[in-house]
Amino acid sequence: MALTIETPISEYELERGKPMPSKNHGLIQGNLTGVLFYLYRQQYSILPEVSLEMNGKVYTPDICIYPKMVFDGLNDEIKLTQAPLVAIEILSPTQGTEVFEEKFPAYFAHGVRSCWFVEPMIRAITVFTDTQNRTVFSDGILLDSSTNIEINLQEIFI
């Protein structure tokens, strides 16, 4: 009989429902957030790690892109119910892709226009505009046709 040792789930993983990010995950998340903010801060609000409450479930994409929001220090939201325009998920090294088979349909059903699936190991971003239509970008310029957001992948995977 084989002995199985279970690794305890961290508070981070319990709270967000996803694995602890790695160094590469953090670098890519920082690069994406910075590039998107620099290029689109007048048009969009770029929100990393916000909780979305959708149909009774809570999801925490790595980055959400919303129409421009105004900061109001007296009124905050712990869980947003408004769908972002874009939900970006970065694959962690301990995570399988099957988790996104549940998340992306839920995001689209809630009104998200596109989902970006970032795969650090192969330096690629797949842009889903619904559950059936996707475009893979591995070099050059990523163009999200649902928002007209364009980014140079060389600025992300550095």
pLDDT at 101: 85
Q: Which residue has the higher pLDDT, 10 or 104?
A: 104
Q: 47 lies in a domain? A: yes
Does residue 61 lie in a domain region? yes
Where in the sequence is the domain holding 140, given as residue range(s)?
17-155
Which has the closest alpha carbon to 81: 108, 58, 49? 58
* Residues 6+ away with beta carbon under 8 Å from 131: 104, 105, 108
Mean pLDDT score across all residues of the chain: 89
Q: Per-residue pLDDT tens for 108-151?
A: 999 999 999 999 999 999 999 999 999 999 999 999 999 999 99
With a CB cutoff of 8 Å and minimum separation 6, the contacts of 141 are: 150, 151, 152, 153
Structural domain count, the chain:
1
pLDDT given for residue 96 in this prediction: 74
